[in-house]
Structure 1
Amino acid sequence: MSRHLEVREVLQRIVASARTLVGAEYAALGVPDDHGGFAQFVVDGISDAQWRAIGPLPRQHGILAAMLKDTAPQRLADVRDDPRFGGWPHAHPDMSAFLGVPILDGEDIIGALFLANKHSLANKSRADEVFTAHDEHLLRILAAHAAIALTNARLYERSRELTLAGERARIAHDLHDAVSQKLFSLRLTAQAASALIDRDPDRARAELAEVSRLAAEAAEELRGVVIELRPAALDEDGLLPTLSSQIEVLDRAHAARVSFTHTRVRALPSAQEAALLRVAQEALHNALRHSGATAVRVELHPGRAGRGAVLTVTDDGAGFVPDDVRRAGRHLGLVSMRDRAAGVGGTLRIESAPGRGTVVVLEVPGG
């Protein structure tokens, strides 16, 4: 169960394991919501056609509701004889022997396992078997492991959601800074051209030429944002080959000389590798598009005591004043780079001065 990180897959593995463990014909696992129903409800032993015929997910009533309120297991010889039993839909299979065990996170019930119709390997034909105290003991052990696996899977999915939210925030920054300002200028220029077209055609033509230039720049910036959305081949190739490949392409595509030197870096957590790659891409973009550099050098080496990594991007371009927050922070994407560094516990240092080029240094700790 612990090998799986997707919540749905974890739930399915739990319910299948429970059914096999105690020799049940049917098994189900319900995760409650806050509105009297189930956020998730998975089954094992019932075909897809049967499941569709049964209809909507059950509500929290009868024995199911009891299982979500009482931390004690429920072991019944015949669930239909229990006063809490409220029946089931027409297409629902007939069930008798019942064993239910809650899945606990501390004192909180985060789910419940429901097993029905005991069939031992030696007596598969018997329909009157009941679940034993030993079955209950085994299922309680499984439920304890299931709680850990389910909690881990939820934390993983939450972490992934936060990562995606962070990416959306970064993309929003990029779209605003790189594209929307260009489009705003384009609109104003088009309005100026419209106002001049009758009384000063030559100036109107010049303004329209500016419109064309701004539109081309906006399209180029938008392409850059879209390229950023593509997942880098970090998982397949690793950080060094991915960086090396991208820098080789940039060296061929631009007049500036782009070089890459590195020494072997120990394996890093995926989030740190992604941050190093993205900061390198941002710094390279700035150097090649805005600085007028003739040479850009990228270096990647181990950090202090051989742990972590240090990325350095140096260009011989025009440089700028780092304290100029409006220009440096917004136009050159420094906010995005700083956010990425902070997100992985790293530090970002930027050294620049007019006419003296720029050095961007990102250091990430060891994993």
Structure 2
Amino acid sequence: MGDGASKGGGPAPQLRMDALLGELQEHVERVRGSRDRMQTLLDAVVAIGGNLDLEELLRHIVQSAADLVDAEYGALGVLGEEGRIRQFITAGLDEETIARIGPYPEGHGILGLLIREPRPLRLEDLGAHPESVGFPPGHPPMRTFLGAPVQVREKIFGNLYLTDKRGGRPFDADDEAVLRSLAAAAGVAIDNARLYDESQHRERRLAASAELTRALLSGAPPEEILRSLADTVREMTGTDLVTLALPVGAGGELVVEAAAGEAAERVRGLALPATTLAAKVYANAEPVISDALSDDPRAAGGSASLVPLGPAFFVPVGDNARVRGVLQVANAPGRPPFTEAAIDMVLTFADQAALALQIAEHRRDTEQLALLGDRDRIARDLHDQVIQRLFADGLTLQAALGRVQSVPQAAERIQRVADDLDDTIKIIRSTIFGLQHRDRDGAKTGLRSRLVALTDEAAQTLGFTPALRMTGLLDTDVPDRHAEHLLAVLREALSNTARHARATSAEVSVEAAGGTLRLTVADDGRGVDPAVTRRSGLANLRSRAEELGGTFALVAGRSCGTELRWEVPLGSGEAVG
């Protein structure tokens, strides 16, 4: 009987109809899901295609990729030189987790595999792959993985990395197809953003060139031109710090002559030994790029030792025939690396900066020649007019002296005046000699060069090179006598630091400004007992200050160590070199 019910078209056909309807509903849901996903993909492509800010675009690409494949975590690793990751943009990680993980990866393990073999990669268990190297401490656990390269004009720009599909499911072929489509669209969008970025940099460079030309044509003093150059580079790059270092002496050392940025005052006048990156760029005439300057083992000393700096690059100002200086462009730690367009912009502008430095040097030479011409004229006038007249007056007094011998008081006074005239003639002759000969060796024996040489020499006993900062017209405004006292005081101060302080670093600041010469030597050593001021060496430093009408003090450093302060007024006299 039951068989008859079946044959009569009862419950069995109904069950088949329910199954067919269920399959149809599932198919409709899949079609609807595919349609919705395709619409989401199209929306993401349109959104990233309309964004011309490169940094914002990269963040948008990562977030869109994670949303499209329903991944909990996403990242975009931008490739730099030698196939290493130079920028890592993430989605799904909060700031606390990022700080706990520490430095971003450089491109090892699975990330490195995708760099070496740029094609889509799907894994159900990230840790089971033979290329996997595990995660650093503090990194959240990740299991499923999907990666795809982002290509810009036949060149791999970077790779998209997605992990942990929500719901514990593995990534499927549809996820891979969606990610490949997004990566292709991202490559076009990145190319457009780069072209726009380059056009913006070109406009800034043209504006900066016009500003520099105006400064040159205005006849501004060389120091103003240097300041304008640093300000212009900072304005057109939007960076935190720009410095321009010029050579001093013949040993390859540089001095930061101009700086722009919040930390400009801290680094302006800083001497850069031959071990710094800037000095190496000056010697090799090749630019250098660093993603974290303060942590870069190549950056021994320099501005990064005084100011925390992140991404930075150094550009030679000039060509292989002659490098006239070095531009440093740097940002604070945590900011993204510089784009190729920004570096190329400064490289191009550096050629115009070299012309500005050449013009500034010629103007300085012209002013120096004019000064020497004035000295020669003054010397001739003193010799041909003043001395001759004084000599004639002396002879007149000598003739009058014979007529008043009977009046002893008058004879004595006339003799005294004649002797004074004799001494005056000797002084004028000495002055004439100084005016004619004092600058012959000035370029080799300037105070700046002697300060650099002295701090380099002290490095042998200290075990490190002191940071040296020089401000003001030290080579022209400081009299010889003051310079000799200053060098003696600095030599004694560094010697004391080497013998007693047990310091690991020291900073020397020399400033000539406002009619005052100031020397400050600060170290991070163990400090001194107040009774130490009775030492003969320190008494000598105090006597040198008092001899020039100045002051000397030895105080505790701001955080630790000792700070020596030696300050004297700049009196009239013959300046150094």
- After TM superposition, the score normalised by the length of structure 1 is 0.48
What is the TM-score with the length of structure 2 in the denominator?
0.31
**Structure number with larger C-alpha Rg:** 2
Between the two structures, name the one with larger relative contact order (CA 8 Å, sep ≥ 6). Answer: 1
Q: Which has a greater percent of helix?
A: 2
